[in-house]
Amino acid sequence: METRRFPMIEKQPEITALCPWCGQGKTFADKPADIRVSCQCPFCEKFYKIDFSTMRAIKIRPKPNSQK
Ligand SMILES: [Zn+2]
């Protein structure tokens, strides 16, 4: 009996965008593209948007909680 092993492929993302708030959270992309991605930083839990065509990270302020 032999155990089949799948080849392990390691791929480095070509683009790394850092969180504009804390500089720790990272968002990866394979290649530049004309897309914008909104995400939440896992470190500071703030939101930001990355424009992968210009490689700019834009801070997003979530809607302020309405006073109740
Ligand atoms: Zn962050």
pLDDT in tens, 14-48: 888 999 999 999 988 888 889 898 999 999 999 99
Furthest CA-CA distance within the chain: 67
Is 64 or 6 the better-scoring residue by pLDDT? 6
AA identity, residue 41: C
d(CA 17, CA 27): 5
Distance 52 CA to ligand 1 centre (A): 18
Provide mean pLDDT across the span 43-65: 89
Q: Separation of 47 CA from ligand 1 center, angstroms? A: 8
pLDDT at residue 54 greater than cutoff 90: no
Q: What is the pLDDT of residue 22?
A: 97
What average pLDDT does this structure show over 1-20?
84
